[in-house]
Structure 1
Amino acid sequence: MDAIAIVKRCFQAYVDKDRAAIEAVIADDFHFTSPLDNCIDRKTYFERCWPNSETAAGFEYKNLVQDGDRVFVTYEGKGASGKRFRNTEILTVRGDRIIDVEVYFGWTIPHEAPAGGFVDK
């Protein structure tokens, strides 16, 4: 299976709330990093991140590019409440498993800043 297909299976598992499906693509030596998490292991990932599947309603891929064993994906996510957001992730795949994820949080949709403007915080 190609790396992009594996990454898509991971995201679909969130939408389907299918723990077995995501466990099938997450390696035993998996690590996850985000602005809130620093290289957490598989066990901690499932404790901290998997509960977010309860509110995941969908992902629309904006960019999905493979470079060797890494897949770069920018998506617009939709929560069960209708809240939308944009993130970028870099997922590293070894064989048929994801071994590493880096998440870069984006923004809410619609954007808080007006077109051509910014949010002053």
Structure 2
Amino acid sequence: MSDDHERVIRNLFAAYIANDRQRVSDALADDFRFTSPFDDDLDKAAYFERCWRDTGWIARHDIERIFVRGDEAFVTYCCLAKDGRSFRNTEFFTFAGGKVRRIEVYFGAARQDGRFLPQPR
């Protein structure tokens, strides 16, 4: 099962890069919920309305690690933008019936040339 969940996560990240909204939607459960520092417990429709946009600004996601235990997983990745900006996030996934039921995003600091950029206080 953990291999299946890891495959779903990797396919989801590939679908984001391909800007394939249908493939992303197909990976998400009907009762999907999304939470981030900017979004509190959005349902699937609100997620696509508020969070989905053209992903053409992303050059790539470098997945650093995926830990799966049962129907839960943590993913840490670095997102590299085409303009050179980058940031590193961790996401917590919950699965049900082979689909992603919940994603909680924890934002990391901005990065440049492999180093963290100081954050304004």
TM-score normalised over the length of structure 1: 0.88
SS in 1 for 2:90: strand
How far apart are residue 82 of structure 1 and its match? 2.3
Mapped partners of 2:90, 2:11: distance in 1: 17
Two-structure CA RMSD over aligned residues (Å)? 1.5
- Structure 2, unpaired ranges of 5+: none
Aligned to 2:117: 112
What is the total number of aligned residue pairs between the two structures?
116
Aligned to 1:116: none
TM-score normalised over the length of structure 2: 0.88
- Specify the code of the residue in structure 1 equivalent to 2:104: E
Q: Deviations over 1:80-101 (max 9, x none)?
A: 3221110000011112210000
Q: CA 1:120/1:59 → structure 2, altered by over 3 Å: closer, same or farther?
A: closer
Mapped partners of 2:101, 2:78: distance in 1: 23
SS in 1 for 2:53: helix
How do 1:1-121 residues align onto structure 2 when only pairs under 5 Å count?
A: 2-51=4-53, 53-110=55-112, 111-113=116-118, 119=119, 121=121
TM superposition outliers: structure 1 runs of 4+ over 6 Å:
none
- Structure 1, unpaired ranges of 5+: 114-118
